[in-house]
Amino acid sequence: MSVRVAVLGAAGYTGGEVLRLLLAHPAVEVVQATSGQFAGKRLDFPHPHLRGVGTLRYTPHDALEPCDVLVSCLPQGELINRWQKVSRLAERVVDLSADFRLDASGHARWYGKHPRPEDVPAFVYGLPEWMGDALTNARHVAIPGCMAHAGLLALLPLLHAGLVRPDVLVVDAKTGSSGGGSTPDRSSHHPERANALRCYKPVGHRHTGELEGVVARVTGQQPTIHFSATAVPGVRGILATVHAFAARPVDEPEVVRAIATRYREKPFVRLLRPSASLSPFPEPGPLLGTNHCDLSVDVDPERGRVVVNAAIDNLVKGAAGTAVHALNLMLGRPETEGLGFRGLHPL
């Protein structure tokens, strides 16, 4: 019997990717999709890539009905306000916003006082490559932020292996315009954004708190992470460049071994080698539409600097794909189920 899934807030970019993946998932039936703007319209009305996939129509958020799994794509702050009602309608919930990613104190620092702090501990942080055991049979999952996600996949193996110092870590993330969502403002409007190359958040980005909190939780070390976000031309994709400093003398083969060992059994993380590809540097283009993360390693032994680049599609690996990955683990399904798309080249 198929698992009955509803998607709350399905008309945005992330919601469209969740629908694309779930509508093709062999173990899932999408029974409801909600939208505050497009109630009564077919799913493909805001999502041209979903033309011909069925006759399901959007319903208002308040018309949400009971289901087995609820995937929420509502903007940050909206699921919290609906939680008391929504939590009774689904046995399992996957949230793609920041509402339940941080503990109550971290949320208060970066987003404001959490209105339901008593519910935060019920959520598992949905980073499958590092929280896979906790996701198995979990009831509530909070999917990572897209730029934090790329940074964590690069950082965690280095810290876990004790190769780098936790007190000086730099994450520089470059992101396309779709990371700003489907509702335009002056800075994301196409004439303003199309050729933009600007560091729009040099300091104080909210993903700083997420990065530091998860690193502390996974490694037991309290890190100091310097995070900056840069807008680049292009619609989809993230390239996160991590700069770390060696805790002792290390060379590139040792760092490569640590990362390769950690992700050897992880189907969606790939470590690129210069000798194995004409394209050995991670870039988002070949990953668009996929749930993969590509990594590369460079080491400057003279200065003790370790550089790891991580590339993902922000809307898939950074959001919808990881939601489906987590859902597979929650349901005891094969973790790659419904996530087999390999990308396109050239674009």
- Catalytically active residues are 146
Distance CA 297, CA 141 (A): 30
Query: How far, rounded to the nearest angstrom, does the alpha carbon of residue 264 sit from its chain's CA centroid?
Result: 20
Three-state secondary-structure class, residue 7: strand
Contacts 24+ apart (CB under 8 A), 271-278: 271/295, 271/296, 271/297, 272/296
* C-alpha span between 293 and 318 (Å, rounded): 9
Handedness of CA 99, 100, 102, 103 (dihedral sign): positive
Query: Burial, 337: exposed, middle or buried (Cβ in 10 Å; 0-12, 13-18, 19+)?
Result: middle
**CA pair distance 228, 240, nearest whole angstrom:** 10
DSSP state of 189: S
Residue type, 15: G
Concatenating the DSSP letter of every residue in 247-264 gives: SS---HHHHHHHHHHHHT
CB distance 30 to 8 below 8 Å: no
Residue 26 preceded by cis peptide, ω within 30: no
Tokens of 290: 């996929």
Rounded Cα gap, residues 128 and 268, in angstroms: 10
On whether the CB atoms of residues 5 and 72 are closer than 8 A, the answer is no
